[in-house]
Amino acid sequence: MNFDLSTEQSMLQKMIREFSDEVVAPGAIERDKNKTFPVEVFKQLSDMGIMGLPFPEEYGGAGADTISFAIVTEELSRTCASTGITYSAHISLGGAPLHLFGTEKQKEKYLTPICTGESFGAFGLTEPNAGSDAGGTETTASLENGEFVINGSKVFITNASFAKHLALTAITGRNGDHKEISAIIVPTDAQGFTIKSEYEKMGLNASNTTELILENVRVPEENLLGVRGNGFKQFLTTLDGGRIGIAAMAVGIAQGALDKAVQYAKERKQFGKTLSQFQATQFKLADMEVKVQLARTFVYKAAWLKDQGRPFGKEAAIAKYYASEMAMEVCDEAIQIHGGYGYMKEYEVERYLRDAKLLEIGEGTSEVQKMVIARHIL
């Protein structure tokens, strides 16, 4: 096995690491405080050709691989997880289903603006009673005179306020108790489409989290994404890739918290010595480093399998499960090393902990990931 990054991946990592330190990090505290979406950050990422990173060049992408996507997500999350989740959702949830299941015409029309940064990527799956549970879907799309008429709502949707269009799941037919669920591309400026972003969140305050309300929204039948009735299967496939993004986010957050803890331990003096000279602190830092390294390695493994066209669902679930719990543990230890200062916003580690919590919830809880893993091995 070769655990080295390729030349291109190493160059990308260096570029995004410097960008994250110089551009993303300086405003992270204020963006979190004021709930300011990082528009200017993403304008620069767009100019750098990062917004369509893993998608084909003919649609404005860069034709890079999944490992590269994981690298960018990790490095952005290392300094600002709100920026990291915005990027991860843009690629893995917004662009990926269009790339995987869209027609050539749909890709040219809808994937291209995502790749060029003209539109953010978003997708509408979660409802008040439906996320991982397809049976709870209540949004409907009735076909009338060559148009889908959509009614329903979605919750906890990332990036929708800044998206020109998104794919969403809806019931397109019924057979007894069985619901036929399909995916449909919907412009966000369609009549009857309302987007609300009024959530008061624990963390990731600079990211855009919305509620979607659809009241008799009409879109042409040609906006059906993929095969009718396969919508939920398509999004389960999409979520496999999304788990790599979430796991990469977790690694980035944990690495950022570890970096802050190491810096503080070297500078803070107690009883005439720096904290870093105490064995108890060294043991904590060593445990944190081990956890981060293990999680990163498994993220790369899942991404590599995906790039090889091999099954990667189990590995993506393992990466997401382990990395999300690891991030919480590392952030908690970072606060412990900081002591009372870790409780103060200016030292940032409390923000890392708040941001990390979503990763144990988003895209399925740890229990859901365990179910996915178990299904692969049974």
- For the annotated catalytic residues, the residue numbers are 363
Alpha-carbon span 104 to 366, nearest angstrom:
36
Which residues partner with 180 through β-bridges? 173
**Alpha carbon separation from 231 to 127, 155, 222 (Å, rounded):** 15, 18, 15
Backbone phi and psi for residue 99, each to the nearest 5 degrees, phi listed first: -70, -40
Task: Determine which helix (DSSP H) or strand (DSSP E) holds 140, and give its type and residue range.
Answer: strand 140-144
Three-class SS state of 14 = helix
Scan for tokens 């099954």, then name that residue: 311
**DSSP single-letter state for residue 190:** S
What six digits make up the tokens of 232? Answer: 């939920």
- Tokens 């409780």 correspond to 343
> How far is it, in rounded angstroms, from Cα 169 to Cα 234?
10
Say if residue 44 is exposed, middle or buried (CB neighbours under 10 Å; 0-12, 13-18, 19+).
middle
CA 66/CA 76 separation, integer angstroms: 15
Report yes or no: 375 and 313 within 8 Å, Cβ to Cβ: no
128 has which bridge partners? none
165-175/123-124 β-pairing: parallel
At 112, give phi and psi (nearest 5°). Answer: -55, -50
Confirm if 334 and 342 have CB atoms less than 8 A apart.
Answer: yes
Q: Taking the CA of residue 378 as centre, how many other CA atoms within 13 Å lie in the half-sphere pointing to its CB?
A: 6
Q: How many angstroms separate the CA atoms of 63 and 161, rounded?
A: 27
Q: Which amino acid is at 219?
A: V
Inter-residue contact 72 to 53 (CB < 8 Å): yes
